[in-house]
Protein backbone atom coordinates (compact mmCIF):
# COMPACT_ATOMS: atom_id res chain seq x y z
CA UNK A 1 0.00 0.00 0.00
CA UNK A 2 2.69 2.44 1.03
CA UNK A 3 4.67 1.48 -2.01
CA UNK A 4 1.80 2.07 -4.49
CA UNK A 5 1.02 5.46 -2.96
CA UNK A 6 4.64 6.37 -3.55
CA UNK A 7 4.33 5.39 -7.19
CA UNK A 8 1.16 7.45 -7.59
CA UNK A 9 2.79 10.52 -6.01
CA UNK A 10 5.80 10.12 -8.25
CA UNK A 11 3.59 9.91 -11.35
CA UNK A 12 1.46 12.97 -10.54
CA UNK A 13 3.98 15.61 -11.68
CA UNK A 14 4.56 13.67 -14.88
CA UNK A 15 0.84 13.57 -15.60
CA UNK A 16 0.51 17.27 -14.75
CA UNK A 17 3.26 18.08 -17.23
CA UNK A 18 1.50 16.03 -19.89
CA UNK A 19 -1.78 17.83 -19.28
CA UNK A 20 -0.09 21.23 -19.60
CA UNK A 21 1.63 20.44 -22.90
CA UNK A 22 -0.85 18.02 -24.46
CA UNK A 23 -3.62 20.19 -26.02
CA UNK A 24 -1.46 22.12 -28.50
CA UNK A 25 0.93 19.20 -28.86
CA UNK A 26 4.15 21.25 -29.01
CA UNK A 27 5.32 23.87 -26.55
CA UNK A 28 5.31 27.54 -27.54
CA UNK A 29 8.47 28.68 -29.29
CA UNK A 30 10.71 31.06 -27.37
CA UNK A 31 12.61 32.58 -30.31
CA UNK A 32 11.50 34.24 -33.52
CA UNK A 33 13.18 31.64 -35.71
CA UNK A 34 11.61 28.73 -33.85
CA UNK A 35 8.18 30.35 -33.99
CA UNK A 36 8.55 31.07 -37.68
CA UNK A 37 9.90 27.57 -38.43
CA UNK A 38 6.87 26.01 -36.79
CA UNK A 39 4.80 28.00 -39.29
CA UNK A 40 7.00 27.02 -42.24
CA UNK A 41 8.61 30.47 -42.51
CA UNK A 42 12.05 31.92 -42.01
CA UNK A 43 12.64 34.98 -39.84
CA UNK A 44 15.56 37.14 -40.89
CA UNK A 45 17.35 40.35 -40.05
CA UNK A 46 19.47 42.82 -41.95
CA UNK A 47 23.03 42.32 -40.77
CA UNK A 48 25.89 44.83 -40.82
CA UNK A 49 29.38 43.38 -41.17
CA UNK A 50 30.86 46.06 -38.94
CA UNK A 51 28.67 44.99 -35.97
CA UNK A 52 29.76 41.36 -36.00
CA UNK A 53 32.47 42.15 -33.45
CA UNK A 54 29.88 43.15 -30.83
CA UNK A 55 29.02 40.15 -28.72
CA UNK A 56 25.50 41.18 -27.67
CA UNK A 57 24.66 41.88 -31.32
CA UNK A 58 25.93 38.48 -32.41
CA UNK A 59 24.28 36.63 -29.51
CA UNK A 60 20.91 38.16 -30.34
CA UNK A 61 21.31 37.60 -34.08
CA UNK A 62 22.30 33.96 -33.65
CA UNK A 63 19.62 33.19 -31.09
CA UNK A 64 16.63 34.77 -32.86
CA UNK A 65 17.15 34.75 -36.62
CA UNK A 66 17.65 32.11 -39.30
CA UNK A 67 18.13 34.34 -42.33
CA UNK A 68 20.52 37.26 -42.91
CA UNK A 69 20.39 40.09 -45.44
CA UNK A 70 23.63 42.06 -45.79
CA UNK A 71 22.42 45.60 -45.08
CA UNK A 72 24.90 47.39 -47.36
CA UNK A 73 27.71 44.95 -48.14
CA UNK A 74 26.45 43.54 -51.46
CA UNK A 75 25.39 46.84 -53.00
CA UNK A 76 27.12 48.08 -56.12
CA UNK A 77 29.26 50.70 -54.35
CA UNK A 78 30.56 48.00 -52.02
CA UNK A 79 31.14 45.23 -54.56
CA UNK A 80 32.32 47.09 -57.68
CA UNK A 81 33.47 50.53 -56.55
CA UNK A 82 35.60 50.87 -59.67
CA UNK A 83 34.81 49.40 -63.05
CA UNK A 84 35.81 45.75 -63.19
CA UNK A 85 37.30 45.81 -59.65
CA UNK A 86 35.29 43.58 -57.38
CA UNK A 87 35.61 43.71 -53.58
CA UNK A 88 33.87 41.19 -51.38
CA UNK A 89 35.45 41.52 -47.92
CA UNK A 90 32.40 42.73 -46.02
CA UNK A 91 29.91 40.71 -48.05
CA UNK A 92 31.97 37.60 -47.30
CA UNK A 93 31.96 38.47 -43.59
CA UNK A 94 28.16 38.48 -43.48
CA UNK A 95 27.76 35.40 -45.70
CA UNK A 96 30.33 33.39 -43.74
CA UNK A 97 28.79 34.31 -40.42
CA UNK A 98 25.31 33.45 -41.62
CA UNK A 99 26.28 30.16 -43.20
CA UNK A 100 28.33 29.21 -40.16
CA UNK A 101 25.15 29.58 -38.13
CA UNK A 102 23.00 27.68 -40.60
CA UNK A 103 21.16 30.87 -41.62
CA UNK A 104 19.85 31.39 -45.13
CA UNK A 105 21.24 34.42 -46.96
CA UNK A 106 19.17 36.94 -48.84
CA UNK A 107 21.32 38.75 -51.41
CA UNK A 108 20.69 42.50 -51.53
CA UNK A 109 20.85 43.96 -54.13
CA UNK A 110 22.19 43.65 -57.69
CA UNK A 111 20.61 46.62 -59.49
CA UNK A 112 19.60 49.77 -57.62
CA UNK A 113 19.85 53.46 -58.43
CA UNK A 114 21.11 54.28 -54.93
CA UNK A 115 24.55 53.48 -53.51
CA UNK A 116 25.58 53.31 -57.15
CA UNK A 117 29.13 54.44 -57.94
CA UNK A 118 29.56 57.55 -60.04
CA UNK A 119 31.32 55.65 -62.80
CA UNK A 120 28.10 53.72 -63.47
CA UNK A 121 25.83 56.78 -63.39
CA UNK A 122 28.14 58.49 -65.85
CA UNK A 123 27.84 55.85 -68.57
CA UNK A 124 26.07 57.54 -71.47
CA UNK A 125 25.46 54.63 -73.81
CA UNK A 126 22.62 52.15 -73.30
CA UNK A 127 24.43 49.21 -74.83
CA UNK A 128 27.51 49.90 -72.71
CA UNK A 129 25.46 50.21 -69.52
CA UNK A 130 23.61 46.98 -70.32
CA UNK A 131 26.86 45.08 -70.68
CA UNK A 132 28.23 46.67 -67.50
CA UNK A 133 25.05 45.66 -65.64
CA UNK A 134 25.23 42.09 -66.94
CA UNK A 135 28.89 41.88 -66.00
CA UNK A 136 28.16 43.16 -62.49
CA UNK A 137 25.41 40.60 -61.98
CA UNK A 138 27.49 37.79 -63.43
CA UNK A 139 30.36 38.57 -61.05
CA UNK A 140 28.46 39.25 -57.83
CA UNK A 141 25.75 36.59 -58.16
CA UNK A 142 28.34 34.25 -59.65
CA UNK A 143 30.65 34.62 -56.66
CA UNK A 144 27.92 33.48 -54.27
CA UNK A 145 26.42 30.92 -56.63
CA UNK A 146 24.73 28.17 -54.62
CA UNK A 147 24.93 30.13 -51.33
CA UNK A 148 22.05 32.55 -51.70
CA UNK A 149 18.45 31.57 -51.02
CA UNK A 150 16.94 34.73 -52.51
CA UNK A 151 18.37 37.60 -54.51
CA UNK A 152 16.82 41.04 -54.58
CA UNK A 153 17.74 41.33 -58.25
CA UNK A 154 16.25 44.75 -58.89
CA UNK A 155 15.38 47.17 -56.10
CA UNK A 156 13.01 50.15 -56.10
CA UNK A 157 12.53 50.52 -59.86
CA UNK A 158 9.10 52.16 -59.66
CA UNK A 159 8.26 55.78 -58.97
CA UNK A 160 6.35 56.91 -55.89
CA UNK A 161 2.95 58.51 -56.22
CA UNK A 162 0.06 57.71 -58.48
CA UNK A 163 1.72 57.62 -61.90
CA UNK A 164 2.53 53.90 -61.89
CA UNK A 165 5.62 54.87 -63.88
CA UNK A 166 9.07 53.42 -63.76
CA UNK A 167 11.51 55.39 -61.65
CA UNK A 168 13.69 57.52 -63.89
CA UNK A 169 17.02 55.88 -62.98
CA UNK A 170 20.14 55.80 -65.10
CA UNK A 171 19.23 52.21 -66.07
CA UNK A 172 15.74 53.22 -67.16
CA UNK A 173 17.00 56.28 -69.03
CA UNK A 174 19.83 54.60 -70.89
CA UNK A 175 18.62 51.00 -71.39
CA UNK A 176 14.86 51.51 -71.29
CA UNK A 177 12.10 49.23 -70.01
CA UNK A 178 14.01 46.06 -70.87
CA UNK A 179 16.67 46.50 -68.19
CA UNK A 180 14.68 44.80 -65.43
CA UNK A 181 14.06 41.58 -67.31
CA UNK A 182 17.65 41.59 -68.59
CA UNK A 183 18.80 41.78 -64.97
CA UNK A 184 16.63 38.79 -64.01
CA UNK A 185 17.92 36.75 -66.95
CA UNK A 186 21.52 37.54 -66.05
CA UNK A 187 20.90 36.61 -62.41
CA UNK A 188 19.33 33.26 -63.37
CA UNK A 189 22.37 32.44 -65.48
CA UNK A 190 24.79 33.48 -62.73
CA UNK A 191 23.08 31.52 -59.93
CA UNK A 192 20.41 29.09 -61.13
CA UNK A 193 19.59 27.89 -57.60
CA UNK A 194 18.79 31.31 -56.09
CA UNK A 195 15.19 32.46 -56.09
CA UNK A 196 15.00 35.80 -57.85
CA UNK A 197 12.96 38.63 -56.37
CA UNK A 198 11.85 42.13 -57.25
CA UNK A 199 11.91 44.35 -54.11
CA UNK A 200 10.28 47.71 -53.39
CA UNK A 201 8.74 49.98 -50.71
CA UNK A 202 5.32 51.65 -50.49
CA UNK A 203 4.01 48.58 -52.26
CA UNK A 204 2.74 46.85 -49.10
CA UNK A 205 -0.89 47.82 -49.73
CA UNK A 206 -2.81 48.09 -52.97
CA UNK A 207 -2.01 51.38 -54.66
CA UNK A 208 -0.83 52.70 -58.03
CA UNK A 209 2.78 51.77 -57.34
CA UNK A 210 2.07 48.21 -56.19
CA UNK A 211 -0.32 47.74 -59.10
CA UNK A 212 2.42 48.80 -61.52
CA UNK A 213 4.73 46.20 -59.95
CA UNK A 214 1.91 43.66 -60.10
CA UNK A 215 1.44 44.29 -63.82
CA UNK A 216 5.15 43.85 -64.42
CA UNK A 217 5.25 40.54 -62.53
CA UNK A 218 2.17 39.29 -64.37
CA UNK A 219 3.81 40.18 -67.68
CA UNK A 220 7.09 38.49 -66.63
CA UNK A 221 5.24 35.31 -65.69
CA UNK A 222 3.31 35.36 -68.96
CA UNK A 223 6.48 35.76 -71.02
CA UNK A 224 8.68 33.38 -69.05
CA UNK A 225 11.03 36.02 -67.61
CA UNK A 226 12.64 34.30 -64.60
CA UNK A 227 11.09 35.80 -61.46
CA UNK A 228 10.29 33.76 -58.34
CA UNK A 229 9.36 36.22 -55.64
CA UNK A 230 8.41 39.76 -54.75
CA UNK A 231 9.76 41.57 -51.69
CA UNK A 232 7.65 44.07 -49.81
CA UNK A 233 9.99 46.20 -47.72
CA UNK A 234 7.39 47.32 -45.17
CA UNK A 235 9.14 50.39 -43.80
CA UNK A 236 6.12 51.54 -41.80
CA UNK A 237 4.95 53.52 -38.82
CA UNK A 238 2.19 52.67 -36.38
CA UNK A 239 -0.37 54.66 -38.35
CA UNK A 240 0.67 53.46 -41.79
CA UNK A 241 0.14 49.69 -41.84
CA UNK A 242 -2.12 49.26 -44.88
CA UNK A 243 -5.45 47.64 -44.04
CA UNK A 244 -5.25 45.63 -47.24
CA UNK A 245 -1.74 44.26 -46.83
CA UNK A 246 -2.96 40.66 -46.75
CA UNK A 247 -5.09 41.14 -49.86
CA UNK A 248 -2.15 42.75 -51.62
CA UNK A 249 0.25 39.92 -50.72
CA UNK A 250 -2.37 37.42 -51.85
CA UNK A 251 -2.90 39.00 -55.26
CA UNK A 252 0.82 38.76 -55.96
CA UNK A 253 0.95 35.18 -54.65
CA UNK A 254 -1.88 34.36 -57.04
CA UNK A 255 0.46 35.25 -59.92
CA UNK A 256 2.62 32.28 -58.93
CA UNK A 257 5.41 34.01 -57.00
CA UNK A 258 6.44 33.79 -53.37
CA UNK A 259 5.95 36.96 -51.38
CA UNK A 260 8.34 38.16 -48.69
CA UNK A 261 8.35 40.89 -46.08
CA UNK A 262 11.92 42.05 -46.64
CA UNK A 263 12.83 45.14 -44.61
CA UNK A 264 10.22 45.36 -41.90
CA UNK A 265 10.53 48.14 -39.38
CA UNK A 266 7.74 50.16 -37.77
CA UNK A 267 8.44 53.51 -36.15
CA UNK A 268 6.77 53.87 -32.76
CA UNK A 269 6.82 52.31 -29.32
CA UNK A 270 4.86 50.33 -26.77
CA UNK A 271 1.46 48.82 -27.46
CA UNK A 272 0.75 50.68 -30.69
CA UNK A 273 4.01 49.48 -32.19
CA UNK A 274 3.37 45.95 -30.92
CA UNK A 275 -0.10 45.96 -32.50
CA UNK A 276 1.21 47.24 -35.82
CA UNK A 277 3.84 44.48 -35.93
CA UNK A 278 1.15 41.91 -35.12
CA UNK A 279 -0.96 43.10 -38.06
CA UNK A 280 1.91 42.66 -40.51
CA UNK A 281 2.91 39.22 -39.21
CA UNK A 282 -0.70 38.02 -39.21
CA UNK A 283 -1.14 39.18 -42.81
CA UNK A 284 1.94 37.22 -43.88
CA UNK A 285 0.89 34.08 -42.01
CA UNK A 286 -2.50 34.23 -43.70
CA UNK A 287 -0.87 33.95 -47.14
CA UNK A 288 0.68 30.54 -47.69
CA UNK A 289 3.25 31.86 -50.17
CA UNK A 290 4.44 34.50 -47.69
CA UNK A 291 7.29 32.37 -46.43
CA UNK A 292 9.99 34.81 -45.33
CA UNK A 293 9.89 37.76 -42.95
CA UNK A 294 12.93 39.99 -42.44
CA UNK A 295 13.30 42.91 -40.07
CA UNK A 296 15.65 45.68 -41.13
CA UNK A 297 18.17 45.34 -38.32
CA UNK A 298 18.70 43.69 -34.96
CA UNK A 299 18.64 46.61 -32.53
CA UNK A 300 17.10 50.09 -32.54
CA UNK A 301 20.49 51.66 -31.88
CA UNK A 302 21.86 50.69 -35.31
CA UNK A 303 18.66 51.16 -37.29
CA UNK A 304 18.78 53.50 -40.31
CA UNK A 305 15.85 55.22 -38.54
CA UNK A 306 17.17 54.87 -34.98
CA UNK A 307 15.31 57.94 -33.68
CA UNK A 308 12.02 56.18 -34.48
CA UNK A 309 13.00 53.02 -32.52
CA UNK A 310 11.43 50.80 -35.20
CA UNK A 311 12.85 47.37 -34.37
CA UNK A 312 12.16 44.46 -31.99
CA UNK A 313 15.13 44.91 -29.64
CA UNK A 314 16.00 48.15 -27.90
CA UNK A 315 19.49 49.63 -27.78
CA UNK A 316 20.42 47.27 -24.92
CA UNK A 317 19.11 44.22 -26.76
CA UNK A 318 16.10 43.94 -24.47
CA UNK A 319 13.00 42.44 -26.04
CA UNK A 320 10.42 45.16 -26.69
CA UNK A 321 6.63 44.74 -26.53
CA UNK A 322 6.81 44.47 -30.33
CA UNK A 323 9.04 41.41 -29.96
CA UNK A 324 6.59 39.69 -27.62
CA UNK A 325 3.75 40.56 -29.93
CA UNK A 326 5.49 39.07 -32.99
CA UNK A 327 6.44 35.94 -31.08
CA UNK A 328 2.91 35.45 -29.80
CA UNK A 329 1.45 35.80 -33.32
CA UNK A 330 3.99 33.25 -34.55
CA UNK A 331 2.91 30.96 -31.72
CA UNK A 332 -0.80 31.47 -32.28
O1 LIG B 1 16.96 53.18 -46.78
C2 LIG B 1 16.47 52.05 -46.13
C3 LIG B 1 16.49 50.83 -47.04
C4 LIG B 1 15.51 51.02 -48.19
N5 LIG B 1 15.47 49.86 -49.04
C6 LIG B 1 16.76 49.39 -49.54
C7 LIG B 1 17.77 49.25 -48.42
O8 LIG B 1 19.03 48.89 -48.94
C9 LIG B 1 17.87 50.51 -47.60
O10 LIG B 1 18.86 50.27 -46.58
C11 LIG B 1 19.59 51.38 -46.14
C12 LIG B 1 20.57 50.93 -45.09
O13 LIG B 1 19.86 50.44 -43.99
C14 LIG B 1 21.43 52.11 -44.64
O15 LIG B 1 22.47 51.66 -43.78
O16 LIG B 1 20.26 51.95 -47.23
C17 LIG B 1 20.92 53.15 -46.84
C18 LIG B 1 21.48 53.85 -48.05
O19 LIG B 1 20.48 54.12 -48.98
C20 LIG B 1 22.03 52.82 -45.84
O21 LIG B 1 22.62 54.00 -45.38
C22 LIG B 1 23.97 54.14 -45.70
C23 LIG B 1 24.35 55.57 -45.42
O24 LIG B 1 23.57 56.41 -46.25
C25 LIG B 1 25.80 55.78 -45.73
O26 LIG B 1 26.18 57.07 -45.37
C27 LIG B 1 26.65 54.76 -45.01
O28 LIG B 1 28.00 54.85 -45.40
O29 LIG B 1 24.78 53.26 -44.95
C30 LIG B 1 26.13 53.35 -45.30
C31 LIG B 1 26.91 52.26 -44.59
O32 LIG B 1 26.77 52.40 -43.20
Considering 64, 73, 80, 263, which one is annotated as catalytic?
Answer: 263
Is ligand 1 within 6 A of the CB of residue 299? no
Q: Is residue 16 part of a domain?
A: no
Considering 73, 80, 156, 182, which one is annotated as catalytic?
Answer: 156
Q: Is residue 94 part of a domain?
A: yes
SS3 204: coil
CA–CA separation, 286 and 107 (whole Å): 25
User: Of 286, 282, 241, 233, whose CA–CA distance to 261 is shortest?
Assistant: 233
* Average pLDDT estimate for 29-55: 98
pLDDT band for position 15 (cuts 50, 70, 90): very low
- Full-model pTM: 0.93
How many domains in the chain?
1
Q: Which of 48, 71, 94, 307 to mutate to test the pocket of ligand 1 (most atoms within 8 A of CB)?
A: 71
pLDDT band for position 128 (cuts 50, 70, 90): very high
Contact 196, 227 (CB under 8 A): yes
**Radius of gyration for the alpha carbons in the chain, expressed in angstroms and rounded:** 22
Q: Is residue 19 part of a domain?
A: no
Cα 86 to ligand 1 centre (Å): 20
pLDDT for the residue numbered 87? 98
CA–CA separation, 156 and 235 (whole Å): 13
Is ligand 1 within 6 A of the CB of residue 115? yes
Q: Is residue 86 part of a domain?
A: yes
Cα-based distances in Å from 1 to 6, 7, 10, 12? 9, 10, 14, 17
Q: Is residue 15 part of a domain?
A: no
pLDDT for the residue numbered 1? 41
pLDDT tens digits for 221-263? 999 999 999 999 999 999 999 999 999 999 999 999 999 999 9
Residue 275 has pLDDT above 60, yes or no: yes
Catalytic-residue membership of 156: yes
pLDDT for the residue numbered 14? 46
Cα-based distances in Å from 140 to 44, 71, 115, 149, 312? 21, 15, 15, 14, 31
Is ligand 1 within 6 A of the CB of residue 325? no
Q: Is residue 234 part of a domain?
A: yes
CA-angle at 57, arms to 54 and 60, nearest 5°: 145
Is ligand 1 within 6 A of the CB of residue 71? yes
Protein residue with its CA nearest to atom 32 in ligand 1: 72
Domain of 133: which CATH number?
A: 3.20.20.80
- Our measurement of the distance from residue 17's CA atom to the centroid of its chain's CA atoms, rounded to an integer in Å, reads 38
Contact 148, 194 (CB under 8 A): yes
CA dihedral of residues 254, 277, 325, 332 (deg, nearest 10):
-10
pLDDT tens digits for 78-126? 999 999 999 999 999 999 999 999 999 999 999 999 999 999 999 999 9
Q: Which helix (H) or strand (E) holds 198?
A: strand 195-200
Residue 38 has pLDDT above 90, yes or no: yes
Q: Is residue 2 part of a domain?
A: no
Contact 230, 198 (CB under 8 A): yes
Is ligand 1 within 6 A of the CB of residue 72? yes
User: Domain range for residue 53?
Assistant: 28-331
Contact 184, 153 (CB under 8 A): yes
Residue 25 has pLDDT above 90, yes or no: no
Contact 130, 173 (CB under 8 A): no
Cα-based distances in Å from 23 to 18, 70, 222, 304, 327? 9, 40, 46, 43, 19
User: Of 274, 237, 142, 141, whose CA–CA distance to 197 is shortest?
Assistant: 141
Contact 295, 320 (CB under 8 A): no
Q: Is residue 5 part of a domain?
A: no
Catalytic-residue membership of 73: no
Amino acid sequence: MRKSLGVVLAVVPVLAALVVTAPGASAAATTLKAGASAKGRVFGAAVAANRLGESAYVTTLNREFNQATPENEMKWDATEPNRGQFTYGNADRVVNHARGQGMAVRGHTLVWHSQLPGWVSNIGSGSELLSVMRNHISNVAGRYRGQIAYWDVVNEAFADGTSGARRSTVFQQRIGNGYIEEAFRAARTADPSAKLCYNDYNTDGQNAKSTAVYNMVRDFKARGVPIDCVGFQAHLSTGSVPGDIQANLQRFANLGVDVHITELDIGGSGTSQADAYARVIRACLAVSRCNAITVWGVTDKYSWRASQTPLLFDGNYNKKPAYNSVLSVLNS
